[in-house]
Amino acid sequence: MGRHLSARLKRAEESLALGAIGGILVLAALLPFVFLVVNLLRAPAEMSAGLALLGSREPWFVFLRSVASALVVALAAVLIGVPLGLLLGSTDVRGRKAALILHAFPMFLPPFLLALGWFYLFGRSGLWG
């Protein structure tokens, strides 16, 4: 009887902890948005200028271009990374361990360095720009 109660209590504690952590993450994600809305409500002139900007085509064009770029990069990463990972993970080719380490190396770098490298490679003044 005591063991059964202990298992139920442990499950309840795990659910509570998971819910608390999820709530903290949601709050951390929404806090900048709430701060922005509060600041816009304090200054109506800035809010009308911001709404006028959103009414023009330029920010939406930049947004759509950014989304398209992100989709192309994600698709390229999946199309290259998944077959390479499956090949290196399921076969026994020479240099497999070194290739796996090289394959996973970008995961250990700060995202800023990777973005900076891609910018210098594919930017307007980059090697392939």
Q: Record the pTM.
A: 0.48
Dump pLDDT digits (tens) for 1-17.
Answer: 556 667 777 788 888 98
Please check whether residue 103 is in contact with residue 85, taking contact to mean a CB–CB distance below 8 angstroms: yes
Range ranked top by mean pLDDT from 19-23, 36-40, 90-94: 19-23
| C-alpha dihedral sign at 104, 105, 110, 112 | negative
